[in-house]
Amino acid sequence: MGTSALRAIRNATEKSGITRLAGGRPFTRCPVGALAALAAVLAHNGVATLQYAASAGFAPQRERGRHRWHCRHCTHQYRFPHERC
């Protein structure tokens, strides 16, 4: 690949909003917390997390999401899992 092709690729990625991870430029907006959460889900549930499932999604993850939503809208302090108020 010639330098003009590389230059064209670089120009295209800068204009389209694509994050380039090459060239020694750190991705300062990298969602490190989200990546850590994903790693924890994969470590706990393994490949089942990535398998196709019912359209409603992966049941343990849906339960965690329901719990997080509930706790944001509830004034009670409970440990997970807890009964709905």
Q: Which residue ranges make up each domain of the chain?
A: 53-85
Which residues 6+ apart lie within 8 Å of 20 measured at CB? 10, 13, 14
* Predicted pLDDT of residue 36: 92
Which DSSP state fits 16?
A: H
Confidence label for 51 from pLDDT (cuts 50, 70 and 90): confident
CB contact at 8 A, 57 and 69: no
* Predicted pLDDT of residue 82: 53
Long-range residue pairs from 32-41, CB within 8 A, at least 24 positions apart, any chain: none
CA-angle at 73, arms to 34 and 35, nearest 5°? 5
Query: What is the maximum alpha-carbon separation in the chain?
Result: 65
| Full-model pTM | 0.38
Q: What would the two tokens of residue 58 be?
A: 């992966």
* Predicted pLDDT of residue 63: 82
58: left (phi over 0), alpha (psi -120 to 50) or beta: beta
